[in-house]
């Protein structure tokens, strides 16, 4: 599930207009990722949109959602009032642009520091995450309504206008309130002069619905399928192409996958066996998961407020992440005492593996190249030994383990729902370096496991170069098991022998699993 470090923008249409490139350290780059950088202003047609959410009215005709604050009225001609929700969303946008902040990490901190709660917190989160997901679409619309392209607009002003466009096209906030609140934000944070530009652009945007704008700015599907999907669903063109290849070339399924990437993911909890139960989570307000016996969905509230989560007996963990770990533990072995999680940070799978191993009388060793990530693993496990180590230069002897989890650094294309800005940071130029690292790590994992033992090769990416192509290179040295046989509760994992989870099929991250037995 880990994302490798990658280049910043995609010179072939990878980043939305005006989005700054730069150093972009991938989340979870547990092993030797490459350094990133580069400018990212792709051509039109290189990014796209997110469809309106369920029940939402697009454009300016809808009524304000109950949870949406529409901003305060101006007070005379003085300084506009400060709308805390919109200012928090704006500050997150600027942090993502200026210092490559991770939205899913920074937003909770902003809300907590500013004591923004309830409906205002929900509004701030929706505005920031929704705008980051829809940047590609919104920049195309802004370009059609402006006298200069977005990349020529001052970035602080552009981010504020993007927030306004999101409110106009993908929320039920009335257009007059969305425009007024955005103008106030620009006057307060950028200046009175730039507010005239924002006002002119937003009033043009408000004249059409999202569907009407897409008829104008998206290339025709029959002439440019990838460009049409990229603009319509706000993904870089190269990601659209990679995902289309991964689903077998079907454009309708590709569209469904891209749409699922733009949906807000539900909060999934894992009850670590022997330490918490799903019944305890249900009593705290959670609901049963779909597949994993340890999963529960939290419909609302802060998961950190649950006692089991606060005590590390439970955690937030995507259901696919739970299941690929469980699949590794379900392969029968004649000897089963020592397990390895080779790229363990930040520790989600390690936490579950540690709990299962403890119940069986086995022991887990968790390793990660980076010390701070190894510390996170230490915090999520109880009985495991955790070390800082390079998986390509192992600190363990060959054949020492019965089971090995290799959750390899990757592009993270399978987790775009959870990391709204990640799609604009990934770069196809980083893939050769990542796949070379993945091959070295898989070679090392097969050396670490004993004859007859099993390795799980996992990526949070469906990209064929990071999944099947890597495993195919070692098929002459390992028996590839049918991963689906160890996940009987999950339909639709593909034709085998690998297992591929999908957001649009399973409601999970797009996680890939291969199980390999060393002869």
- pLDDT digit string (tens) for 221-270? 999 999 999 999 999 999 999 999 999 999 999 999 999 999 999 999 99
- 348 in a labelled binding site: yes
Which listed CATH number (1.10.940.10, 3.40.50.300, 3.90.230.10, 2.40.30.10) goes with 84-216? 1.10.940.10
- 85 in a labelled binding site: no
- 349 in a labelled binding site: yes
- 2 in a labelled binding site: no
Angle between helices 135-145 and 118-133 (to 10 degrees): 80
Written as one string, the DSSP assignment of 436-473 is HHHHHHHHHHHHHEEEEEEEEEEES---GGGTHHHHHT
Dihedral of CA atoms 226, 228, 233, 238 in degrees, nearest 10, equals 20
Tens-digit pLDDT profile for residues 426-443? 999 999 999 999 999 999
List the domain boundaries for the chain: 84-216, 229-262, 264-316, 319-518
Question: What residues form DSSP beta bridges with 401?
Answer: 449
- 390 in a labelled binding site: yes
Structure tokens at 486: 């160890």
Question: What residues form DSSP beta bridges with 271?
Answer: 314
Is pLDDT at 303 greater than 90 in this prediction? yes
Q: Exposed e or buried b for every residue in 338-368, given b needs 16+ CB within 10 A?
A: bbbbbbbbbbbbbbbbbbbbbeeebebbbbb
336 and 360 Cβ atoms separated by less than 8 Å: yes
Structure-model confidence comparison of residues 70 and 516, the more confident one: 516
- 139 in a labelled binding site: no
How many angstroms separate the CA atoms of 357 and 482, rounded? 23
Is pLDDT at 274 greater than 50 in this prediction? yes
Instruction: Say what the pTM is.
Output: 0.85
Residues 6 or more apart from 34 whose CB is under 8 A from it? 4, 5, 6, 7, 430, 433, 434
Taking domain 319-518, whether its CATH number is 3.40.50.150 is answered by: yes
Active-site hit among 165, 460, 465, 481? 460
Mean pLDDT of 21-44: 34
Active site residue 410: no
- Given pLDDT bands bounded at 50, 70 and 90, which one contains residue 302? confident
- Given pLDDT bands bounded at 50, 70 and 90, which one contains residue 24? very low
Tens-digit pLDDT profile for residues 129-175? 999 999 999 999 999 999 999 999 999 999 999 999 999 999 999 99
């Amino acid at each position: 599930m880990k994302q490798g470090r990658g280049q910043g923008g995609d010179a072939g249409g990878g980043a939305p207009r005006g989005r700054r490139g730069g150093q972009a350290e991938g989340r979870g780059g547990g092993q030797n990722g490459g350094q990133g950088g580069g400018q990212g202003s792709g051509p039109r047609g290189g990014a796209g949109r997110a469809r309106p959410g369920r029940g939402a009215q697009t454009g300016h005709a809808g009524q304000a959602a109950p949870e949406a604050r529409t901003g305060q009225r101006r007070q005379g001609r003085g300084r506009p009032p400060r709308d805390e929700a919109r200012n928090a969303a704006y500050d997150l946008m600027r942090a993502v642009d200026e210092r490559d902040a991770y939205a899913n990490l920074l937003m909770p901190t902003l809300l907590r520091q500013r004591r923004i709660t309830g409906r205002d917190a929900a509004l701030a989160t929706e505005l920031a995450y929704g705008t980051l997901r829809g940047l590609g679409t919104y920049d195309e619309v802004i370009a059609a309504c402006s006298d200069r392209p977005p990349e020529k607009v001052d970035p602080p002003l552009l981010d504020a206008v993007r927030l306004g466009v999101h409110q106009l096209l993908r929320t039920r906030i009335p257009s007059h309130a969305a425009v007024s609140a955005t103008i106030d934000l620009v006057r307060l944070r950028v200046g009175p002069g730039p507010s005239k530009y924002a006002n002119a652009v937003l009033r043009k945007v408000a004249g059409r619905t999202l569907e009407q704008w897409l008829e104008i700015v998206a290339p025709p599907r029959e002439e440019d399928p990838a460009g049409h999907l990229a603009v319509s669903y706000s993904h870089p063109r190269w990601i659209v192409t990679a995902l289309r290849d991964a689903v077998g070339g079907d454009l309708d399924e590709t569209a469904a996958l891209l749409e699922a990437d733009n949906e807000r993911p539900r909060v999934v909890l894992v009850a670590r066996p022997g330490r918490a139960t799903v019944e305890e989570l249900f009593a705290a307000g959670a609901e049963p998961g779909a597949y994993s016996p340890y999963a529960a969905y939290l419909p609302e509230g802060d998961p950190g407020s649950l006692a089991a989560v606060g005590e590390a007996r439970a955690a937030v963990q995507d259901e696919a992440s739970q299941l690929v770990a469980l699949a590794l533990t379900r392969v029968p072995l004649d000897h089963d005492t020592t397990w390895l999680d080779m790229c363990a940070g930040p520790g989600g799978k390690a936490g579950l593996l540690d709990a299962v191993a403890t119940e069986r009388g086995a022991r887990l060793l968790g390793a990660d190249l980076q010390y701070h990530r190894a510390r996170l693993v230490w915090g999520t496990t109880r009985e495991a030994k955790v070390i800082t180590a390079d998986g390509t230069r192992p600190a363990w002897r060959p054949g020492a383990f019965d089971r090995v989890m290799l959750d390899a650094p990757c592009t993270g294309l399978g987790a775009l729902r959870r990391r709204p800005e990640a799609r604009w940071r990934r770069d196809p130029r980083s893939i050769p370096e990542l796949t070379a690292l993945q091959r070295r790590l898989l070679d090392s994992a097969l050396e670490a496991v004993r004859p007859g033992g099993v390795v799980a090769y996992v990526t949070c990416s469906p990209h064929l170069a990071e999944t099947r192509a890597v495993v195919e290179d070692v098929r002459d040295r390992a028996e590839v098991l049918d991963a689906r046989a160890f996940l009987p509760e999950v339909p639709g994992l593909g034709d085998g022998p690998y297992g591929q989870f999908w957001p649009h099929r399973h409601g999970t991250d797009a996680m890939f699993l291969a199980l390999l037995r060393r002869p």
